[in-house]
Structure 1
C-alpha cells in the first residue's frame, strides 16, 4: 500500500488527492483514514465521495498515524494495487437486527476468492451492537480471512456520521472491504487483572446496569478509588476510567477488554462494545511499560512473516497497518511515540487510533476488542 498524507485535512485536500490518484490509473482501491478534528460534514463530503470513481472505504477517527507519528488533524490515503470488494451493513444499533443475515445479504454479490484475502472492517464505534456484527462476520466467513479494523468516531462520544464510502459519509454502519492480500496479524493489550471476578447481573447491549446485583457505577467507583487513591466523579468519568477497563475471559483469546466511556442514568456504565448479561469481568490496570511491551509483542506475533521480507521484491510489497485504541494514546501521553517506535522501528507504520479494535489472527475467534493494539503486515504484490 502506498501512502499519501494531507496534513491540512480539508475537503479540498481530499478532493485534490483523489484527482491525483485517479489520474495515475493504476490504483485499484483506496483506504481513507481521517481525523475527527478535520470537522468534515456530510453536505461537504458526500459530493466528493460520490464523485470518486475508485472503490473507497474508511473512517473518521480521533487520531491517525502516518509514518510512525500520531496526528490529530489530517487525512491519510492508502492506495491499493487491486480492487477491494466493498459492502456496507447498516443499523448497527438496531436491537432486533439479525447480523448473520445482514452480512450475508450485504456480501452476496462477492465472488469466491481465488487466493488469500484480508478483510478490513470499520464500524461506527458508538453503535451499540458491534459485537453482534462481528459474530455475523464470523458466522459468514469463519477464519478463511484475516480480519483487521476498528471503530470510527469522536472523543466527544456524540454519534455522528463517521464511516467513509463511495455512497457518502454514514453513521451507525459498518463498511467491509475484502482485499486480495496476504497478511499476518498480531493482537495484544498489556492490561492486567487487579480484582476478583464480578458477575454482570444487568446489561443491555453496551450498557452495564448492575455488577453483583449492585448499581454498576457504584461498584466500579468503589474499586477504582480503592486502587488509585483518587476520587472518581461522574462528570469527569473518563479522566480516571481510561486507566481502569474491564476484562472478559474468552476461550482461546487474550482477555477481551471493555472500555467504560461514561455514566448514564445515574449508575449505568456505557462501554465500547457489548458486555453480555451473565458474563464475568475483572477490573484491569496497566502501566506505560506494560502497554508498550504489549504493542511490541503484537509486532513479534507477526514475525513468521519476517522471512517473507528478506528479498527486495517482498519487502517492497509489504505494508504495516497499525490499529490502536485511542484510549492508549490518552493513557500513554507523550510515550505514544515509544509505542509507535516499538512497532515501526524498521519501516513506516500507518493506521488509526480507534474506538475499539476488530481482529483475528487466522487461528483464533474473531473479536471486537477495546484498549488493544492490532498490528498487521499486508503483502501487496500488485503495487510493490
Structure 2
C-alpha cells in the first residue's frame, strides 16, 4: 500500500555548516518523496548545499535556484536554504534542464516542456519553471513552452535571483547550472490552484512606446525612454548612475496595458546612460501603451492575500497541503520588514496553516490560460491539495 499525499518544508540558516542536510530533514517528513524544490541563497555554497540535500534524500528528483531572499513558514530569509518536498500517492513527476538557454531561449523552453510527456496520466498537471532571468527575454522561453504544450497545461514559477544582478544559479539533480531553464512537470490526482496579483496602480497619463526591440525600450512618446521615465519621477537631474536608477525602478515599474484586465508589470532592470534607453526583464512591444506604476504596503499586501485566496479557491474545496510563493524582489522595499512578515502570516492563514515555501524573484511565471504568462513585481501562488 502507498502512503497518503504529503508536503513538507524545511529551512536552515547559512551559518550552519550542514544547512542543506538540516533543511532536507525538515522537508522529508516521510520516506517516499517524489520531488524536492530548493531555494538557496547565493551567499551559501550551492554545490555543497546541493550535495548535502542529495545525500539526505538519496537522489530524489530535484530542481531549484538561487534567490534574492527565501520564503518559509518562519518568515523570509536572505542567507538560508529552503526545501519543499512532495510525496506519497497521487503524484507523478518528471524534471528537465536546458543549458545554455541564452543561445536559443525558445528551444530551451521547448526542451524543458517536453518532460511532461513522461508523466503518468493524472487529472491535474502543472509545469513548474525556474529560469535565469538574465539570459534574455523570458517571454521567448514561454513561447517555446507554448509550442510544445499549447494552452492546456498551466505554468508557474519564477526567475532565479541573486544579491547582485550579475549571475544566477539553477539546480537540477546534482548539477549547479547557470544560463539555464529547469523545470518539473507535476501530475496530481488532486487539484492544483494558481493565483496571481500585483497590487500596483497607474500614475499619470499613458506613454506610447515609439521605439523598442526585445526587452529594451528606446523611445517613449518619441523621446529617449530613460529621459521620459526619470522626468515622470522628478529625478531627471538627480539620477545619474545605475545604482540610483535601480533604487527608483524597484518601486516604479512600468504597466503594460492589457485588454483582458489587470496590467502586465514590467520591471525596469536598468538603463543605458549613453543612448538613454531602458532595459526590462521582458519584452515591451513597440506601439504599446505603458504607464508608470506605484504602490504602497497596503495595496501590495492586499494583492498577496488575493493571490493566495484565488489559488486556494481553485482547489474546489479541498484543503491545501501547502503553497509555493514566487514573489518579485521589487515588492520587498514596499512592504518593509514588518509587512513581509505579515504577508507570509496572511498566506499561511489563508491556506489554513499549511506550510509555505518560495523565494524572491527577478520575474514571475503564471499562466492559467493564454499564450505567455510572464510577470514582473507580482506575487504568484501555487496551492497543492
TM-score with structure 1 setting the length: 0.85
1:297–1:15 distance in 2 versus 1, CA, 3 Å: closer
Conserved 8 A contact 2:137-2:281: no
User: Which of 61, 75, 90 is the equivalent residue of 2:81?
Assistant: 75
Query: Does residue 1:133 correspond to 2:141, yes or no?
Result: yes
- Give distance in 2, aligned partners of 1:271 and 1:365: 20
User: Which of 7, 14, 17 is the equivalent residue of 2:20?
Assistant: 14
- Give distance in 2, aligned partners of 1:354 and 1:207: 20
- Give distance in 2, aligned partners of 1:330 and 1:22: 33
Q: Return 5+ residue gaps in structure 2 as ranges.
A: 1-6
Which secondary structure does the structure 2 equivalent of 1:219 belong to?
helix
Match of 2:95 in 1: 86
Query: Does residue 1:210 correspond to 2:219, yes or no?
Result: yes
Match of 1:189 in 2: 198
Q: How many residues align?
A: 364
Conserved 8 A contact 1:7-1:74: yes
- Give distance in 2, aligned partners of 1:248 and 1:92: 26
CA deviations over 1:270-311 (Å, ceiling 9, x no partner): 2222222333211111111111111111122234346534xx
Match of 2:377 in 1: 371
- Give distance in 2, aligned partners of 1:308 and 1:9: 41
CA deviations over 1:52-72 (Å, ceiling 9, x no partner): 621110111011111051111
Query: Does residue 1:65 correspond to 2:75, yes or no?
Result: no
1:56–1:304 distance in 2 versus 1, CA, 3 Å: same
1:300–1:131 distance in 2 versus 1, CA, 3 Å: same
Match of 2:287 in 1: 278
Match of 1:382 in 2: none
Which secondary structure does the structure 1 equivalent of 2:303 belong to?
helix
CA deviations over 1:192-240 (Å, ceiling 9, x no partner): 11132222233333222222232111111000117xx994343411222
CA deviations over 1:74-120 (Å, ceiling 9, x no partner): 111111114521111334333xx361x44444444632651211211
Conserved 8 A contact 1:9-1:34: no
Conserved 8 A contact 2:253-2:292: yes
Q: Return 5+ residue gaps in structure 1 as ranges.
A: 310-314, 380-384
Query: Does residue 1:163 correspond to 2:170, yes or no?
Result: yes
Which secondary structure does the structure 2 equivalent of 1:114 belong to?
coil
TM-score with structure 2 setting the length: 0.85
User: Which of 292, 297, 314 is the equivalent residue of 1:288?
Assistant: 297
CA RMSD in angstroms, aligned pairs only: 2.8
User: Which of 329, 335, 341 is the equivalent residue of 1:337?
Assistant: 341
